[in-house]
Chain A
Amino acid sequence: MTVAVPIIEFEDVHKDFVVHRKAGRLRRERTVVRAVDGLSFAVERGAIVGYIGPNGAGKSTTVKLLTGILVPSAGRVSVAGLIPAKQRITLARRIGAMFGQRVQLWWDLPLIDSFDLLRHIYRIPEERYRQNLTEFRELLELDPFLRTPVRQLSLGQRIRGEVVAAMLHDPEVVFLDEPTIGLDVVAKQRVREFLTAANRERGVTVMLTTHDLADIERLCSRILILDRGRLVYDGGLEALKARYGGERTLVVDLEESGPALRVTDARVTRVDGPRQWIAFDRERTNAARLAAEVASQAALRDLTVEEPDIEDVVRRIYAERQVGRT
Chain B
Amino acid sequence: MGELLDGIRLYGRLVAARVRAQLQYRTSFALDLAGNFFISFLDFAAILVIFSNVPQLGGWSVAEVALLYGMSNLAFALTDFAVGELDQFPQQIRDGTFDQVLIRPRGTLFQVVTGNFQLRRLGKALQALLILGYALTALPIEWTVDRLLVFALAVPAGTVIFCSVWVVAICIVFWAVDGREAANAFTYGGQFFTQFPINIYDRWLRRFLAYAVPLAFVAYFPALYVLHKSDPLGLPAWLGLLSPLVALAAAVAAGAVWGGAVRHYRSAGG
Contacts and interface: CB of A to CB of B under 8 A. Distances in A.
Are A and B close enough to touch in the complex, i.e. CB under 8 Å?
A: yes
Interface of A: 15, 17-18, 35, 61, 64, 67-71, 73, 85, 88-90, 92-93, 95, 97, 99, 102-104, 106, 108-109, 113, 117, 120-123, 149
B182 interface: no
B96 A99 contact: yes
B10 A17 contact: no
B95 A70 contact: no
Contacts of B266: 69-71, 85
A102 B95 CA distance: 9
B233 to A, nearest CB: 42
B269 A15 contact: yes
Contacts, number: 72
Given A67-B103, A99-B96, A35 B17 contact: no
A97 B99 CA distance: 10
19 contacts: A17-B268, A61-B269, A64-B99, A67-B102, A69-B266, A69-B270, A85-B266, A89-B106, A90-B105, A92-B103, A92-B104, A99-B100, A102-B95, A104-B100, A108-B24, A113-B20, A117-B14, A120-B10, A123-B6
B17 A109 contact: yes
Contacts of A104: 100
B118 to A, nearest CB: 12
Interface of B: 6, 9-10, 13-14, 17, 20-21, 24, 95-97, 99-100, 102-106, 263, 266-270
A122 B105 contact: yes
Nearest to B115: A106
Contacts of A93: 105
A109 B102 contact: no
Contacts of B96: 99, 102
Of the candidates B13, B20, B24, B103, the one having the most CB atoms from chain A within 10 angstroms of its own CB is B103
A103 B266 CA distance: 21
A69 B268 CA distance: 11
Given A70-B266, A70-B269, A92-B103, 17 more contacts: A15-B269, A61-B269, A64-B269, A67-B103, A69-B102, A69-B266, A70-B267, A92-B104, A97-B100, A99-B96, A102-B96, A103-B97, A104-B100, A106-B21, A121-B10, A122-B104, A123-B105
